Amino acid sequence: MRLKVLLNRPFDRVNITSLGKFFSVFTLFFGIATINSGNNLLYMILAYLLVLLFASGILSTMNILFLKVAPETQDIIYKRKEGYILIKVSKSRIPGFSLYFCTKDGCTFVPEIKNNEITIKLPYVGKKRGIQKIDNITVYSLYPFGFAKRGREMRLNMDVLVLPDINRKVDKNGYYQKFALGDNSVEKRGVDGEFLGLARYRSGESLYHIHWKKSYKELQVKKFSTMEKDSVVFHLKEHPDDDEIDIVASLIHREIEKGKSVGLLVDNRFYVAPSTGSVHELGILRKLALL
Amino acid sequence: MNKTNPLRYNTAYLLSAVAVISGVFARGVSIVLFLFLVFMSYLLGKKGKIVLKKYEGNIIAGLMTLVFIPLFFLQDVFVMALYYLLGLLCIKLFVSFEEKDYDHVALLSFLTFSMSAVFLYSMWYILLFVVFSILLGLYLFLRYLPKNITPSKYSTRYILASLLSVTLFSLMLFFFLPRNPYMFFGANAKPVGGDFEYLSIGSFSKEQLSNRVVLRVKPMEKRHNALYLRSRVFMRFDGEKWTEEEKWGKGLKNKVLISKNPYSSSIMYIIYPTLRFTYIPLVDYPVLLSWEGGQFVLYKNLMEVKIEKWPKKMSYRVFASSRPVMSLDTTVTSQYLYVPKNIRNQLKNITKRIKISDDTLFSLIRYLRKNHSYGRFTPLHDTILPILEFLKYQRSGECTEFATSFVLLARLLGYRARMVAGFLSDEYNAMGGYFVVRERHAHAWAEVFKNGRWIRYDPTPPINKKKKFISHLREYYDFLQYLWFTRIVEYSYRDQMHMALKVMPYFQRLRSNSIKRLFIYLLLGIAFAIIMAYFIYNVFFVPFPKKAIKKFLRYMKKNGFSMKKGETLMEFALRSNDKIALQFVKEYYAVRFGKVSCKKLRQLIHLL
């Protein structure tokens, strides 16, 4: 079984570092000097240098042997913005040290794994909206002596959902008028907005809002505006292009941050009723990402 | 000063310290200065003080180069290079540190250490080598780690174990690396010349203080408790010192003689010059000789042998001769009877007291031993010749005084006598079966030509020494040194060939044997490989709790309990009603599931 693993392991990419090249050349010259001198104590050092090179190869091979990676979950990843994915890394039998796990967008350093499973964060930048596939990640290590950078491609097969870009500048160019179906502003009396004035107390109203100082004749209550302000529904065609989706996503993000209820209508496909909150925003963005 | 990774910082310093210590071992006390500098720079570095700026350091290094250039002549190139590198290393440590400077320190340390290997023949080198190689590996391991990462204890332990294996493996590989009998740029170096240019009275005192090993002599068969090793033969005494060496003929100075043993019919195998001597020490019976940093040599039936020894490459012709050393040169017969005029009359008065008979020479020895004791001789009167002062007034002296008196008195009695300088060793190492010849064993005695051959007479009174406990320890130590020199320092392609020739018959036998036997050997080999692999796997890769459980089950089985199917460890321990077992299982659960360290479990396992 183990022999099978050894024989069928993926092909390692070995890049000799500048230190490795220097060490090899140095060993060669040292070897010539030693053979020429015939000094046995120098032979001892030469033997050490050679074994060090040999051990470097063996230990670095062992370091990435029996390594397994599996997808776990992902962070909220917006288009063109760095996020991260989480993967499970396990190593059986032999411990591994100083490993770098890399996607195309960056690496994460893992000091050691010993016979256990750990979860690591890998940086990821989504260049396109929608479901993106990460087929492979690269593992490499300079362990043990930094003579060679031994790396290997590892199959991950992970699907990552990349949300549309929400950081587009949408203040100018009349984007709001273009995509909003209309403002439905409603004046409502609320409890959590700005102070508007006093009114007569009606039965059923909260005692908490009674203005006791002004209530020496009859009970007066404080009037507040409502936080539930406006609601807006954005509209998209059946087959919008990426640019339009990004603009609408940015508009939705901006309006929800302002506190508006935001809805979305895509022709012949779906309608999302207006609402507020980050969960609602995420729901809309997911739908937009999958358009 | 970069202190991001203290382990790396300290490792670089330790590396340089070990390199300097090896330099001290190799080149003596003068390098203590460098050691002091390294220590100072370490202290200053720790406090974050910078003594020199970078360019100042470079200027000093440049100036040092200029100072050392005229000294770079070929003979001492390595000595100078060693000092130069050490100097550079010290300067480097005084200068403000950047990240890449650690690499320079490591490289310089490596060069210093390698350079010291050229001179350091001490057995302690192996200890320094192990420490240095582990430190160098550790440094390389720490070198590429990100700055803010300090390796965990586990990974440090793992790499240290790997490095120890690397070092041990390299010591094994050492024996198999091919040795080359030919040097590419070899020049004929001169042997180091001259031990005693002349032999003056009292000159041995200085030599006798030194404990340095000159040779190790292995008798083919031990016949005596002491070994006389002849080195030089003098025949002319001018009143104060022995000057004229016996001539062996033209061009014989650097040659080795193999001659017949005058005392037996066996062949006498001699010896080539040591690093210190250009002449040939001779012994009375067949021996193998080895010098400090040398090898036992046995040349059987060899007419010509080339010996190449580095750094002093020497080439000597070895030839057999039946008589030249021992025969009496008739042209110089009168020289063997010569006594200086200024002491002749006074010595003659002494000879009158000696009874002349067949046993005259022994009477002479008896006379000298009776009237004189062994002790330090220091001439007090400028007006009196030292030899007369010894014979008439001080009556206390060393071997040179006794031997000189003997030769001169024997000459006056009509015997042809000569003075011999060499070594007398009574330090026999029973473990290795050899005599150790140290500098303090330097000795002088006389030879008299009698019945057609030269016979040894040693008038010096013997000293009885009891063997102390420490001398037994010294014997063990010396035997280790002997092994170090013969098996490591002087390991050569000849030894390799010898080893190969020893192994060859096994292979030949294997080839001629049947396939069945070959199959058995193969199976045995595979079985050995599997056992080794299992051992390595068990030691390095099986986690400790797993091993602990195995031991626990064995312990329970001894007590008559065996685990049932489907039973948990806790249930098993409870069933056994054993307190230690219960404690062990609780601790095991804590380690296995609670991620507690194995410390307590390790203690508990000793109780099982």
pLDDT digits (tens, 9 = 90+) for B125-168: 899 999 999 999 999 998 888 877 788 888 888 888 899 999 99
Residue located via tokens 């020494």: B465
Q: What percent of chain B has pLDDT over 90?
A: 6
What residues in A contact B174, CB-CB < 8 Å?
Answer: 40, 43-44, 47
Q: Which of A19, A48, A114 is closest, CB to CB, to B133?
A: A48
d(CA B478, CA B216): 10
C-alpha B388/C-alpha B372 separation (Å) is 13
- The answer on pLDDT for A91 being more than 70 is yes
Cβ–Cβ below 8 Å for B118 and A112: no
Of A39, A47, A95, the CB nearest to B118: A39
Number of compact structural domains in chain A: 3
Q: Which of B125, B144, B173 sits opposite A142 (nearest CB)?
A: B144
Helix (H/G/I), strand (E/B), else coil: B515: helix
Please give the pLDDT value at position B321.
29
Same structural domain for residues A201 and A263?
no
Phi, psi of A179 (to 5 degrees): -105, -15
Q: Is the pLDDT of residue B207 over 90?
A: no
Closest CA to A114 of A139, A89, A137: A89
Residue with the bigger pLDDT between B122 and B415: it is B415
With cut-offs at 50, 70 and 90, classify the pLDDT of residue B307: very low
Q: Quick check: A127 pLDDT over 80?
A: yes
For residues A5 and A135, membership in a common domain is answered with yes
Contact (CB<8Å) A39/B177? no
Write the residue in B154, B180, B543 that is nearest to A112 by C-beta: B154
pLDDT of B340 above 60? yes
Helices (H), B372-452: 386-388, 399-412
Residue A232 Rama label (left phi>0; alpha psi -120 to 50; beta): beta
Q: Where are the domains of chain B?
A: 6-174, 199-478, 494-541, 544-607
Q: What is the mean pLDDT of residues B224-246?
A: 74
**What is the arithmetic mean of pLDDT over B561-570?**
83
Q: Tell me the pLDDT tens digit for each residue of B437-447.
A: 777 788 888 98
The answer to whether residues A276 and A171 belong to one domain is yes
CA distance B442 to chain A (A): 30
Which of B129, B162, B179 is the closest to A44 by Cβ? Answer: B129
Q: Is B225 left (phi over 0), alpha (psi -120 to 50) or beta?
A: alpha
> Which value, in Å, is the radius of gyration of the alpha carbons in chain B?
34
Q: How many CB atoms lie within 10 A of CB A216?
A: 8
Structure tokens at B194: 């001259």
In terms of Cβ atoms closer than 10 Å to its own Cβ (0-12, 13-18, 19+), residue A135 is exposed
Q: Could you tell me if A147 and A247 lie in one domain?
A: no
Name the packing angle between helices B77-94 and B54-68 (round to 10°): 170
Distance of CA B391 to the CA centre of its chain: 41
Residues of B whose CB is below 8 A from A55 = 162, 165-166, 169
Please determine, for residue B122, whether its predicted confidence score (pLDDT) is greater than 50: yes
Q: Is B442 helix (H, G, I), strand (E, B) or coil?
A: strand
Answer yes or no: is pLDDT of B187 > 70. no
**In terms of pLDDT, which residue wins out, B396 or B528?**
B528
- Provide the ipTM: 0.74
Q: Is residue B72 very low, low, confident or very high in pLDDT (cuts 50, 70, 90)?
A: very low
Question: Which residues does chain A have within 8 Å of residue B137's beta carbon, measured at their own beta carbons?
Answer: 52, 144-145
Q: Which amino acid is at A15?
A: N
Under 8 Å CB-to-CB from B558, ≥6 apart: which residues? none
Same domain, A29 and A169: no
Q: Which structural domain range is residue A275 located in?
A: 165-185+229-291
**Residue B33, SS3 per DSSP:** helix
In sign, the C-alpha dihedral spanning B386, B391, B395, B396 is positive
Stronger pLDDT, A88 or B80, i.e. the higher one: A88
- Altogether, the residues listed in chain A come to a count of 291
Query: pLDDT class for A193, splitting at 50, 70, 90?
Result: low
Task: Quote the minimal CA–CA distance from B536 to chain A in Å.
Answer: 12
Q: Which range is least confidently modeled, A51-65, A101-115, B43-57, B351-365?
A: B43-57
Tokens linked to B462: 């013997």
Indicate whether A93 and A204 sit together in one domain: no
Return the pLDDT at B192.
27
**Dihedral over Cα of A274, A280, A285, A288: its sign:** negative
Residues A16 and A159 in one domain: yes
Q: Are B64 and B53 in contact (CB under 8 A)?
A: no
Instruction: Report, as an integer, the average pLDDT of B157-180.
Output: 89
Residue from B144, B153, B154, B593 to probe the interface with A (highest A Cβ count within 10 Å): B144
Are B447 and B454 in contact by the 8 Å Cβ rule? The answer is: yes
Quote the CA–CA distance of A91 and A69 in Å, as a whole number: 9
Query: pLDDT digit string (tens) for B498-509?
Result: 888 888 887 777
Given CA atoms B63, B66, B69, B70 in this order, what sign does their dihedral have? negative
Q: Tally Cβ neighbours within 10 Å of residue B459.
A: 26
Helices (H) and strands (E) in chain A, counts: 6, 15
Q: Which of B141, B146, B177 sits opposite A47 (nearest CB)?
A: B177
Q: What pairing do the DSSP bridges indicate for beta strands A82-91 and A117-125? A: antiparallel
Residues of A in contact with B166 (CB under 8 A): 48, 51-52, 55
Task: Look at residues A175, A184, A183 and name the one whose alpha carbon lies nearest to residue A248.
Answer: A175
CA distance between the termini of chain A: 46
pLDDT confidence of residue B31: 61
Place of tokens 């294997």: B510
CA torsion A121→A126→A130→A135, rounded to 10°? -60
Residue of B nearest to A95 (CA): B541
Same domain flag for A176 and A208? no
Beta strands in B396-475 (DSSP E): 396-397, 417-425, 428-429, 434-438, 442-450, 453-457
Quickly state the pLDDT bin for B558 (edges 50, 70, 90).
Answer: confident
User: Which of B12-16, B20-24, B217-221 shows the highest mean pLDDT?
Assistant: B12-16
User: Both A131 and A240 in a single domain?
Assistant: no
pLDDT tens per residue, range B341-361: 888 888 888 888 777 777 788
Beta bridge partners of B287: B219
| A36 C-beta neighbours (distance < 10 Å), count | 16
Which residue among A41, A47, A145 places its CB closest to the CB of B117?
Answer: A41
The rounded mean pLDDT for chain B is 70
**Any B CB within 8 A of A144 CB:** yes
Q: Which residues of B380-415 are buried (b: 16+ CB within 10 A; e: fewer)?
A: eeeeebbbbbbbeebeebbbbbbbbbbbbbbbbbeb
Question: pLDDT-based confidence at B407, cuts 50/70/90?
Answer: very high
The distance from CA A132 to its chain's CA centroid, rounded to whole angstroms, is: 13
pLDDT: which is higher, A217 or B42: A217
**Would the pLDDT of B229 be above 60?**
yes
Six-digit token pair at B549? 């459980």
Compute the distance between CA of residue A282 and CA of residue A253 in angstroms, rounded to an integer.
9
State the SS3 of A76-102.
CEEECCEEEEEEEEEECCCCEEEEEEE
Let me know: does B460 contact B402? Beta carbons within 8 Å.
yes
Contact status, residue B204 vs residue B399, Cβ threshold 8 Å: yes
Q: How far is B524 from chain A (nearest CA, A)?
A: 21
Residues with Cβ within 8 Å of residue B341, at least 6 apart in sequence: none
**Closest chain A residue to B489, measured at CA:** A40
Q: Is A110 on the interface with B (CB under 8 A)?
A: no
Most confident of A177-181, B426-430, B490-494: B426-430
- Is residue B188 predicted with pLDDT exceeding 50? no
Query: Which of B102, B137, B266, B362 is closest to A147 using CA atoms?
Result: B137
Mutate: best of A48, A58, A61, A98, partner B, most B CBs <10 A: A48
Contact of A146 with chain B, judged by CB distance below 8 Å, is answered with yes
Q: Return the pLDDT at A208.
A: 80
pLDDT tens for B19-39 read 878 877 766 655 666 666 666
Q: What burial class does residue B558 get, using C-beta atoms within 10 Å of its C-beta: 0-12 exposed, 13-18 middle, 19+ buried?
A: exposed
| A149 & A23 share domain | yes
Q: Does the pLDDT of residue B198 top 60, yes or no?
A: no
Which residues make beta-bridge pairs with B436? B216
Same domain, A2 and A79: yes
Scan residues 173-232 of A and list those with Cβ closer than 8 Å to B. none
**Predicted pLDDT of residue B552:** 86
Put simply, the answer to whether B174 touches A43 (Cβ < 8 Å) is yes
Is the model more confident about B352 or about A85?
A85
Residues A208, A254: one domain? Answer: no
